[in-house]
Amino acid sequence: MENWQLFEQECCDYLNSHLKDYPFSFKCSGGSDSTSSDIEVMRNDTSVFSIEAKLSPSQSGQFVVLDNNNEFSYSPRNKFSSNIYSRKIVSYLNKNINLYTNEY
């Protein structure tokens, strides 16, 4: 098993052991397929979100947001549709937009 594969498995195991009192579980699902998420967040056997686990110095992005006249929006070209979690993240970004823009 490659180091990055061990890292993904250890991340999944860590999340399951440290968050076991919550109504979520975590399932390793990525492998070497870069179009598939590394860890699926499961609730009632349904995937509700995904997490990327990357061994340094790898880089990744969960989803793309667009800057539309100083307001972020979920890109329609993302592989997955927006859901309650991505909407909360975009809302947070918009409430703190001055921290996330390159405007001077």
Which residues fall within 8 angstroms of residue 49, CB to CB, at 6 or more apart?
40, 41, 83, 85
Model confidence pLDDT, tens digit, residues 57-93: 766 556 889 988 889 999 998 878 898 989 999 999 9
What are the C-alpha distances in Å from 69 to residues 72, 76, 101? 8, 17, 11
Tell how far CA 17 is from the center of its chain.
19
Q: Do 50 and 62 form a contact (C-beta atoms < 8 A)? A: yes
- Assess whether pLDDT exceeds 70 at residue 43: yes
Tell me how many degrees the CA angle 62-24-66 measures, rounded to the nearest 5: 20
